[in-house]
């Protein structure tokens, strides 16, 4: 297990004992349900395998359960890192996880040997060893899933350390796991007389897989719940609200701000915006909190990304206001892309701030001599001079330059058309005066 613990103020994670219905629903997601159904049906291959009985069923069951336990360990591992639903889980190849069922079997063998030795030493010793082995099993499974180490899963000191870090809720976990095992047996016995003999094997295996996956999912969630104490890093895709109570990010930040914990609120807002770069509300919240906290350096660092998102969302007016604010903090503030200056200038023109519009694109071609937006900037400036300032001569000069330098560019083609319109207007003007 990693020794790194991320110190971020996040909403309290819902305790596992308050999520029982979700654990029972987890195997019913499409992916695990189809996989369990496929493996359960595969147990019927034991009836047709050309191998003497009972080796035919033993071989098939060994293969089926080997595949399923690997899947269960993946579920535990991914859930422990904050990925709480199968659609969030990653499918990268992990050779070390492939060997976990063998390592777990080896741990069972060692525990069995320890119990046999304890039995030879008397009932009191046997009872103590049996109780410890029973209680230690969930911790051993969790440690094995996280470390991939046979020796770590077998180490009684490591097991006791995990038990102590989780505390009394660990006993609750053990109680729930024992109840799940008893429920599996009871349901299998109930269904046995109700299904056809040929269908009994797949049904019993499906029931066993269903409850086993619940147990692995629950153990993974317990690690997620106590990941801070256990030093288990959370996946970046999990987000700060994975498994959190109903308190939203905005509510948590508001609560922290109300309590005067500005730094904690700021760190939560930072993590939230890092995970959701396209979420406008999240980015806006972080921006406002930076202003509230007076973090000008971070405000200027975040500004270009936030401005880009505003433009992407078609909020040119808000982007222009942000640009002015950033320029007020630092006159050297720049947008992420030079072409965004044209978008800001268009927003300024829409707001009838023609002076600002021209100022934004002034000297664009000299500042960014190879930028593909130069023809569009020329055309934009010419239109403002002609239509808003009635400076036709200045507009014509820019349009002529545009048609000479970029004759095939769409802006150059439009410039020729625009010049033709200006010519027609100029020709019609004397006639109108004479009339």
Contact between 399 and 407 (Cβ < 8 Å): no
Span 321-348, pLDDT tens digits: 999 999 999 999 999 999 999 999 999 9
Contact between 394 and 385 (Cβ < 8 Å): yes
Q: What is the DSSP string of 242-277?
A: TTB-S--HHHHHHHHHHTT-HHHHHHHHHHHHHH-T
Span 200-236, pLDDT tens digits: 999 999 999 999 999 999 999 999 988 887 888 887 6
* CA dist., res. 41 & res. 64, Å (int): 10
Contact between 153 and 103 (Cβ < 8 Å): yes
Q: Residue 130: CB partners within 8 Å, gap ≥ 6?
A: 115, 118
For the chain, the domains span 16-238, 246-336
* CA dist., res. 284 & res. 263, Å (int): 17
* CA dist., res. 289 & res. 269, Å (int): 8
The stretches of 3-54 forming alpha helices (DSSP H) are 20-25, 30-42
pTM of the model: 0.54
Q: What is the pLDDT of residue 93?
A: 65
Q: How far apart are the first and last CA of the chain?
A: 91
Widest CA span in the chain: 125
Q: What is the pLDDT of residue 2?
A: 35
Q: What is the pLDDT of residue 92?
A: 66
Reported as type and span, the H/E element at residue 159 is helix 156-166
What homologous superfamily is domain 246-336 in, according to CATH? Tetratricopeptide repeat domain (1.25.40.10)
> What does the DSSP 8-state code read for residue 81?
T
* Backbone torsions φ then ψ of 13, nearest 5 degrees: -75, 140
The tens place of each residue's pLDDT in the chain, 435 residues long, gives 333 323 333 346 788 988 898 999 999 999 999 999 999 999 988 888 777 777 788 899 899 999 999 999 999 999 998 888 888 887 666 677 788 888 989 998 998 898 888 888 877 888 888 898 889 999 999 999 888 888 888 898 988 988 988 989 999 999 999 999 999 999 999 998 888 888 899 999 999 999 999 999 999 999 998 888 788 888 766 654 455 444 456 777 877 787 788 888 888 888 888 888 888 988 999 999 999 888 999 999 999 999 999 999 999 999 999 999 999 999 999 999 999 999 999 999 999 999 999 999 999 999 999 999 999 999 999 999 999 999 989 999 999 999 999 999 999 999 999 998 888 888 876 655 444
Q: What is the pLDDT of residue 388?
A: 92
């Amino acid at each position: 297990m990693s020794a790194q613990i991320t110190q971020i103020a996040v909403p309290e994670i819902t305790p596992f004992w308050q999520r029982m219905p979700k654990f029972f629903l987890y195997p019913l997601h499409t992916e695990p349900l189809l996989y369990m159904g496929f493996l359960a049906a595969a147990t019927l291959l034991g009836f047709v395998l050309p191998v003497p009985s009972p080796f035919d069923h033993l071989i098939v069951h060994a293969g089926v359960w080997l595949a399923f336990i690997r899947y269960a360990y993946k579920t535990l591992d991914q859930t422990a890192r904050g990925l709480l639903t199968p659609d969030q889980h990653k499918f990268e190849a992990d050779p070390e996880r492939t060997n976990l069922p063998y390592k777990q079997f080896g741990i069972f063998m060692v525990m069995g040997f320890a119990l046999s030795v304890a039995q030879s030493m008397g009932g009191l010793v046997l009872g103590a060893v049996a109780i410890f082995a029973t209680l230690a099993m969930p911790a051993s499974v969790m440690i094995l899933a996280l470390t991939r180490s046979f020796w770590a899963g077998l180490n009684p000191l490591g097991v006791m350390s995990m038990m102590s870090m989780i505390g009394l809720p660990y006993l609750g976990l053990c109680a729930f796991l024992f109840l799940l095992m008893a429920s599996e047996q009871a349901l299998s016995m109930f269904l046995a007389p109700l299904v056809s003999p040929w269908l009994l094997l797949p049904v019993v295996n499906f029931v066993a897989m269903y409850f086993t996956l619940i147990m692995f999912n629950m153990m993974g969630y317990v690690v997620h719940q106590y990941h801070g104490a256990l030093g288990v890093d959370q996946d970046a895709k999990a987000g700060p609200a994975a498994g959190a109570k109903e308190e939203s990010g905005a509510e948590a930040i508001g609560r922290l701000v109300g309590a005067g914990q500005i730094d904690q609120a700021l760190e939560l807002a930072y993590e939230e915006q890092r995970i959701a770069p396209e979420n406008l509300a999240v980015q806006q919240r972080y921006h406002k909190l930076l202003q509230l906290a007076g973090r000008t350096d971070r405000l200027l660092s975040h500004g270009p990304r936030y401005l880009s998102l505003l433009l992407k969302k078609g909020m040119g007016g808000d982007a222009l206001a942000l640009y002015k604010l950033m320029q007020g903090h630092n006159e050297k503030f720049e947008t992420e892309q030079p072409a965004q200056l044209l978008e800001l200038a268009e927003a300024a023109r829409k707001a009838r701030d023609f002076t600002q519009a021209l100022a934004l694109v002034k000297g664009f071609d000299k500042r960014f001599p190879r930028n593909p937006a130069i023809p569009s900037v020329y055309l934009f400036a010419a239109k403002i001079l002609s239509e808003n300032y009635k400076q036709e001569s200045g507009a014509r000069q820019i349009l002529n330059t545009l048609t000479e330098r970029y004759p095939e560019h769409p802006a150059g083609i439009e410039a020729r058309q625009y010049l033709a319109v200006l010519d027609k207007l100029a020709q019609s003007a004397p006639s109108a005066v004479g009339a």
